[in-house]
Amino acid sequence: MTADYDTLAKTIAALTEGETDQVALMATIACEVHHADDRFDWTGFYRVTQPGLLKIGPYQGGHGCLVIPFDRGVCGAAARTGEVQLVPDVEAFPGHIACASSTRSELVLPVRDASGEVIAVFDIDSDQPDAFTDQDASSLGAILADVFAK
């Protein structure tokens, strides 16, 4: 099964309508996205809790890293640069943090609030190599913007 992003976007919009609590929004998105696609092995948020530091937020899947500095790993790179990180082979990514040994590829998107500030990153890991596409990144980015940047 691969994600039907039109349906996923509509479902998330309906479930999150009127909600302003960021953790509740993150929990709902993590759950819906995780169960929308068989490629998604770990799906969740790392929240910016202080300058240069991410802490785990709501997620689905096995245990995740609790703390990630902006200067480490794929999630740190997304938070530091504010750019999507689409990594077909995590072993080839300098400084990759192996929170789970099963992870082969990763997609991490910065999450911005209405002022454009990065408040979190949305991390999706796959146990398949080269699992993610530019379409995944753009569709998920649009969903995140619809929920958090309004």
Average pLDDT, the chain: 95
**Residue length of the chain:** 150
Question: Which tokens belong to 129?
Answer: 């190599």
pLDDT tens-digit series, residues 3-22? 999 999 999 999 999 999 99
Q: Give the model's confidence band at 72: pLDDT under 50 very low, under 70 low, under 90 confident, else very high.
A: very high
pLDDT tens-digit series, residues 108-118? 999 999 999 99
Pairing mode of beta strands 42-50, 105-112: unpaired
Question: Which tokens belong to 89?
Answer: 């082979």
Distance, CA of 24 to CA of 55 (rounded, Å): 16
Query: In the prediction, which pLDDT does 139 show?
Result: 98
Question: Which tokens belong to 133?
Answer: 């596409």
Percent of the chain scored above 90 by pLDDT? 87
Residue 95, Cβ neighbours under 10 Å: how many? 10
30 or 96: whose pLDDT is higher? 30
Distance, CA of 36 to CA of 2 (rounded, Å): 7
Distance, CA of 82 to CA of 143 (rounded, Å): 17
Residues 6+ apart with CB under 8 A from 14: none
Domains of the chain: 5-148 (3.30.450.40)
Residue 150 has pLDDT above 90, yes or no: no
Residue 94 has pLDDT above 90, yes or no: no
